[in-house]
Amino acid sequence: MNPTDEQSAAADAFHAGQHLALQAGAGTGKTTTLALLARTTQRRGRYLAYNRAIAQDATARFPKNVRCKTAHALAYAAVGHRYTQRLNAPRRPAWQTGQALGLTQAIRIGEREVSQRALSNAVLRTVTQFCHTADPEISRHHVPRLRGLEDQDLHNQLAAHIVPFAHKVWTDLQNPDDGCVRFDHDHYLKIWALTQPRIDADFLLLDEAQDTNPVVEQIFLNQRDHAQLVMVGDSAQAIYHWRGAKDIMTGFDGTQLALSQSFRFGPHLAREANRWLHLANAPIRLTGTPAVPTELGYVDRPDAVLCRTNVGAMTQVMDLLAAGCRTALGGGGDSLRTLAQAARDLKEGRRTNHPELVLFPSWGALQDYAAHDPAGRDLQPLVDLVDTHGTDAILAALARLSPENHAEVTVSTAHKAKGREWARVKIADDFTPPKDSESTDGTGRSVPGPIDDGEARLAYVAVTRTRQRLDLGGLSWVNDHPDGSE
């Protein structure tokens, strides 16, 4: 295939030795373009992949002068191998780890009692958050905000108790031979990052740059003095801010270029994608390929149903299974299973250490919080699902899931669908419109509130997963929104 003008421009900038940020829209062939760049030189390169599957695929597509690894693989080769015997340690409940560290009692903060289990869980989450940052030390801003303790003063009280134990966790993790804390892959990545490592390469290619954790960003940018830096990604697909990821592309000090010709879908779908790109204030717009006749309209038998939330995905799964459809769940059912098990614990009078539900003493308390506290509205779908079906039915449904290669339809959240594509896609109905504003139009009707740019980015990811036909479904409300046309 002959390169497009945009791909040729990227190759010219790369050949000239420029640091480069390449905005690559959905389906625009970013990996193909990076491989094209790599073939124009005999210099030694490194391709930093988002996950191991992408790294393995890239190894087959890149020339021999480029080694394709994840940041974790580089970290493992440098320091992680010293911790091998700790990596395979059995899982243990957070409360047991807390006890081993001397965290043995509940504390009261404001009107809430925070149990030993909740405190132990928060300590471990604090260290996880620290490992995703470029920060040199653990501090109180790494402490997670717990439901019911969102007030800054209450959070500060929690952090004052948590941070000393988080330091104990980090000290424990430095020992390669023994420790009471379960050692995982993010731990050795952070340990490596703190050594200010130098990656031996003439150029570095960073994939999925819009979702780079600050710890990986720091490692990548620190190579600037000796290596040419090339990052590729799509700022409009930056949908992991909530777990610490950061879009490092728009502020990158280098040549900014774009890939806007999508080979995945045709002009009709590109027009829909551009609507959401406009709403997200994204830096690019897409052009579809005329030879790919993608349509928009009702889809009776989709290959994939994409949902906004895990609970929405569970609702779809149960409806499809009840209709006798062989159903798969993108990414597997582990997160939903743990949520359902946590709900079962609360319904049976036991507290849970699930991070979303850890502060609720009973199912009734959760029901009341979801129904009456504005901060708990996002939990109402979970309450409705459990109250309607019961936890046993939910867990039984998860046990009946099919592998994707044997399923008639795959249900996925939009987050887990990123990087994937299907022929026929339907958007589930849990993509709800923004709440009405206090303004009214000339007829006295309430005017819809503005569309959040983060929600627009997620919608953009969802609508660009299709090759043949898209059922806009739960996003159809945008047709009636005043901002819905570019």
CB of 40 closer than 8 Å to CB of 66? no
Encode the chain (486 residues) as per-residue pLDDT tens digits: 688 999 999 999 999 999 999 999 999 988 889 999 999 899 999 999 878 878 888 899 999 999 999 999 999 999 999 999 898 777 677 888 999 999 999 999 988 889 898 899 899 999 999 999 999 999 999 999 888 888 899 999 999 999 999 999 999 999 999 899 989 999 999 999 999 999 999 999 998 888 888 899 999 999 999 999 999 988 888 776 655 556 677 788 999 999 999 999 999 999 999 999 999 988 899 999 999 989 999 999 999 999 998 888 988 999 999 999 999 998 888 888 888 999 999 999 988 878 778 778 889 988 888 887 766 777 888 888 899 889 999 999 999 999 998 999 999 999 888 888 999 999 999 998 888 877 777 777 777 888 988 899 999 999 999 999 999 999 999 998 888 865
Task: List, in sequence order, every residue forming a beta bridge with 45; answer none if it has no partner.
Answer: 66, 203
Give dist(CA 305, CA 330) in Å, integer: 10
Strand 466-471 relative to strand 295-296, pairing: parallel
Give dist(CA 145, CA 318) in Å, integer: 32
Strand 436-440 relative to strand 446-448, pairing: antiparallel
Question: In whole angstroms, what separates CA 112 from the centre of its chain?
Answer: 31
Give dist(CA 264, CA 254) in Å, integer: 28
- Which candidate, 260, 259, 261, 270, places its Cα nearest to that of 293? 270
- Taken in order 356, 358, 362, 364, the sign of the CA dihedral is negative
Tokens standing for 74?
Answer: 């580089």
The whole-model pTM stands at 0.79
